A = this chain, B = another copy of it.
């Protein structure tokens, strides 16, 4: 079966496996109910009637096994890496589905504001689904996905269930309805003042995203969701906007490609791009240079959004290669007498200036067949927040140069003159501050250094076990350098353990996307608190710097020190 092949398993891992976006797309509706990985050699799929199919080395047999929410999902959400993408929610489901969340007469009515007051066990934990309001306080401890259920506390769980369609089964709907306490009132009207807001036309975002700023909108997913799937679902992909999201009419949109000072160049419609050239896909990780800035802020204040460790995401991007479009436009990039390739977006500031960036010609030449003028993200049109209709995808370099809402490509002898190329996204040493900084003397960030971060457990978390801890996270390096090793310590750096890596079978010298990793590590004895640390090595054997202090910089970029998470160890072994 096409959806299970070696490349999709964690080929170096011992304890877990992976079912990706692509797998899901190829699943037949009949077995789309749920999916789980019970061990490295065994993939189980549950159909709509809760019959379980098992998949070994070849073929699949149907097993008789009826699962309930608490039981079935203990084997699905409860096992790391078993992923069901939101697409399955588009499939035909059991009739019971329509009965969950429908308006029920005779029940109290609550507003969204009422619901939002119920986020903790003390105030009771309420969620909504469609028209239903539910008090799930007593269910939290039973949730097979652990405390991820709290991401929906005080708000709607619909977007989460859209994302993780595993929930949308008759049995689960039935469990949910057990906790029904009322109906939700209608959605509030948009206020008149909001309509004049330059950000009023921004799209709606997934509630799981944690904003670093609202206007412009910048947000990251919860770290534990970030590493839940190799490809980040579009709705959870971190968002880094510098300006309001432009409203683009795909019918009138065109992309201009030119050599500066030579001529007007060539204009291509969206339809031209999609129909006239070969489509190429590349899976890349994009990271904001400010990812993990919050750790620098703790040392000394910096200017920049207070990003946690999830301003990084991975998607499969599809479109036309830069080289194809340049050749079509009569430009041979290998011979062009230019030093930079500039990209211009359609997002405009109050002064009318658009976002722009550029890359050196050497990078463009080296990657001419890897740079994608992308019109699709994870198999669908690029969402508005991520650059609809076009984004330039330049594997291995910082997000800031991968211009969204792309409508102009210009070969030039100059770098982009934009603020973000000239006076932002550059590195300085820790003795440089705003009184003595000279942006003209530093180099624009292009390729990024090696980074890794712990996504589970979370900072300050009480662990389940006093003996061992399972630590999970991501690692990535710029320039296509794959990850050779991730070292994990559970005793503050005294001893190190090598993590199991999911490199997605990338070549270590053309690894555009991240490596997800997991390590189960013994905890120090007779200690109530400990420091978990991770550090990664890339294929150039570059390692992360030890301390944040050593790399602190006034803009808080390039924060790639060893990642540290403090956790509490339970007093007694369970």
Contact = CB atoms under 8 A, between A and B. Distances in A.
22 contacts: A360-B508, A360-B509, A429-B496, A429-B498, A442-B484, A442-B485, A443-B484, A447-B481, A447-B539, A447-B540, A447-B541, A448-B540, A448-B541, A449-B543, A478-B540, A479-B479, A493-B550, A535-B550, A541-B558, A544-B545, A546-B547, A546-B550
Nearest to A487: B429
A10 to B, nearest CB: 15
A260 to B, nearest CB: 20
A537 B363 contact: no
Interface in A360-409: 360, 362-363, 366
Given A484-B443, A509-B360, A547-B546, A431 B541 contact: no
Interface residues of A, number: 47
Interface in A477-536: 477-479, 481, 484-485, 487, 493, 495-498, 507-510, 535
Interface of A: 360, 362-363, 366, 427, 429-431, 442-443, 445-450, 477-479, 481, 484-485, 487, 493, 495-498, 507-510, 535, 537, 539-547, 550-551, 558, 562
Nearest to A558: B541
Nearest to A547: B546
Given A427-B484, A546-B547, 7 more contacts: A427-B537, A427-B541, A429-B487, A430-B496, A442-B484, A443-B484, A446-B540
Contacts of A562: 550
Main secondary structure of the interface of A (DSSP, over half): loop
A448 B542 CA distance: 7
Contacts of A448: 540-541
Copies in the complex: 2
B507 A362 contact: yes
A171 to B, nearest CB: 44
A402 B399 CA distance: 35
A509 B541 contact: no
Contacts of A544: 545
Shortest 9 CB-CB contacts between residues of A and residues of B: A447-B540, A546-B546, A362-B509, A449-B542, A431-B496, A429-B496, A429-B487, A542-B542, A431-B495
B539 A543 contact: no
A484 B426 CA distance: 11
Nearest to A493: B550
A203 to B, nearest CB: 32
A545 B509 CA distance: 22
A558 B541 CA distance: 8
A362 B431 CA distance: 40
Contacts of A429: 485, 487, 496, 498
Given A427-B484, A443-B484, A509-B363, A546 B545 contact: yes
Given A429-B498, A487-B429, A510-B362, A543 B541 contact: no
Contacts of A508: 360, 443
A415 to B, nearest CB: 13
Nearest to A427: B541
A485 B495 CA distance: 32
A254 to B, nearest CB: 31
Contacts of A484: 427, 442-443
Contacts of A362: 507, 509-510
A318 to B, nearest CB: 23
A187 B50 CA distance: 93
A537 B447 CA distance: 12
Nearest to A562: B550
Contacts of A558: 541
A498 B477 CA distance: 25
Nearest to A510: B362
Contacts of A535: 550
A556 to B, nearest CB: 13
Contacts of A446: 539-540
A9 to B, nearest CB: 18
B443 A539 contact: yes
B445 A541 contact: yes
A510 B558 CA distance: 22
A442 to B, nearest CB: 8
Nearest to A507: B362
A147 to B, nearest CB: 31
A366 B509 contact: yes
A295 to B, nearest CB: 15
A333 to B, nearest CB: 14
Contacts of A540: 446-449, 477-479, 542
Contacts of A430: 496
A542 B450 contact: yes
A487 B549 CA distance: 14
A503 to B, nearest CB: 11
Contacts of A445: 541
A485 B427 contact: yes
A287 to B, nearest CB: 12
A445 B538 CA distance: 11
Contacts of A477: 540
Contacts of A543: 449, 545, 550-551
Contacts of A541: 427, 445, 447-449, 558
A363 B562 CA distance: 29
A493 to B, nearest CB: 8
